[in-house]
Structure 1
């Protein structure tokens, strides 16, 4: 007898009612002001802000991954000084809010009016104004990169530690250097563990770009604030920005899916069972051969 699940039908009916209510609200509530959203969704200022959001995400993740790998290797080093530096960096950037860090980078000129090169505690040979050298775009990118590197360091460290120590010992026995072992043996295997949280970090970084309004820098949320500051259409502009974030996050999720499939192919191959048809045919051939031999023997005996 099939098991009945009446509660599933009740849950499905409740969900359908809630979806119908949500759709009805979206269609009938004039305060969403869909015409206003469609007017600005492809406006030049929004397209420019979208471009800024995308390149900020790319720069933050590339810089964060490179910095995270270096910090992870420092954390796993036998050198206590390198371990201490890495630990201190992670402590500072993971224990303080990203928004506060961006405010500091955006206001760095108030702390250091000039940045120069010279002899420590001695003369300065060349100097630049901090506000000129560190533009709003550079301050936003720098803040995101430094913060992301701290989180990526722990992700990379967890991936490296997931690889069995015997892999390193075997590589050392073959005469491979530590750098080559890390590049050719450890990191390729660690990617299976590193990729899923890195995909999550990429999506989180995409959303964290909205915080660079503290610098300030013209990304999606900042431009939406500028628009609704003139039109007073707060909710429509914020929903429009959410639609763009949904689209970009969906694209990143698809990319993460294919990356996970690529780096997890060895596990799928190991978990795949042997083909039963081939085994059966092989077994039949062996049985048939044995039977034929037996028949010949019987015939010979007769």
Structure 2
């Protein structure tokens, strides 16, 4: 079994052992890891919430892109092309400093009568936490990419199967739930898992807004202690541990689904 194991995986395993040994045996690395541990929870929270919301929004956009209604198709296509053409970091700043104030102003305008009656306090931009601004930006950005994954999976299902299901009297929703989606999932799940891994890495961009994730805590510690080499070694080790573990899980999922399809 060891002879069949890929060499790259053995090298990764060696790096993990060396990193784990350094963190447990060296007081400097152990101290840095302890200070960064709080950022792991923030990174996972931002990633999980943003990815969950992006998946829901991406599915709705994909349904609009595959709709028979041209207006919906054009609006969804416009959304996907515009969002995918903007760098994530630029969009993060745009949502944080342009979109968020606009949302707060729009909310205050909608509930204006309630504010005038004294039933509500006006919302302020300071009340819109930077963590949620980052989550909103990542949700919008990744929803465009996830929408394309869903669209490809849906369109991979043969048109004849859809027509056969409709001829049997199934409604559009039943056809989607019982015929299209179960088959589309085989195509969708592997790239969706890869997008989740990418979001774990791209979540490091939220440090530009001061969100206390792994990267931001590492930056603060390195600038105050001047231990740049040790700090960013630990930061890289933590991200590698998360992303490679998730990548291996996605690979296992692909092999499992391929093996199940053969039988």
What is the TM-score of this pair, normalised by structure 2? 0.82
Indicate yes or no: 2:176 matched with 1:188: no
Is 1:234 the equivalent of 2:236? Answer: no
The alignment yields a C-alpha RMSD, in angstroms, of: 2.7
SS of residue matched to 2:123 = strand
Give 1:249's aligned residue. Answer: 243
Deviation at 1:262, TM superposition (A): 4.8
Runs (4 or more) in structure 1 with deviation over 3 Å come to 108-115, 261-266
1:116 aligns with 2:111: no
Alignment of 1:79-94 (within 5 A): 79-94=69-84
Deviation, 1:236, is: 1.5
Aligned match of 1:224: 218
The partner residue of 1:56 within 8, 21, 46 is 46
Number of the residue aligned with 1:275: none
Matches of 2:100 and 2:84 in 1, distance apart?
Answer: 24
CA distance in 2, matches of 1:92, 1:117: 28
Shift in alpha-carbon separation, 1:142–1:241, aligned structure 2, 3 A: same
For the structure 1 residues 185 and 110, does the alpha-carbon distance in structure 2 shift closer, same or farther, using more than 3 Å as the test? Answer: closer
Provide the rounded CA distance (Å) in 2 between the counterparts of 1:179 and 1:264.
27
Which runs of structure 2 are paired with 1:134-153 in the superposition (5 Å)?
134-153=128-147
* Runs of 5+ unmatched residues, structure 1: 1-11, 28-33, 270-302
What is the CA-CA distance between 1:95 and the residue it aligns to? 0.4
Q: Is 1:212 paired with 2:181?
A: no
Return the structure number with greater helix share: 2
Which protein, 1 or 2, shows the higher relative CO under an 8 Å CA cutoff with sep ≥ 6?
2
Query: Where do 5+ consecutive residues of structure 2 fail to align?
Result: 1-6, 20-25, 116-121
Q: Distance in 2 between matches of 1:149 and 1:110?
A: 18
Structure with the greater alpha carbon radius of gyration:
1
Size of the alignment, in residue pairs?
Answer: 238
Q: Contact between 1:109 and 1:131, CA under 8 Å: does it hold in 2?
A: no
Partner of 2:91: 101
Equivalent-residue separation in structure 2 for 1:35 and 1:51 (angstroms): 22
User: Residue 216 of structure 1: CA displacement?
Assistant: 2.2
2:58 corresponding residue in structure 1: 68
- Residues 82-109 of structure 1, C-alpha deviation per residue, up to 9 Å, x if partnerless? 1122112112210001001111222138
**How high is the TM-score relative to the length of structure 1?**
0.72
Q: Are the aligned partners of 1:115 and 1:129 in contact in 2 as well (CA < 8 Å)?
A: no
What is the alpha-carbon distance in structure 2 between the residues aligned to residue 261 and residue 172 of structure 1? 33
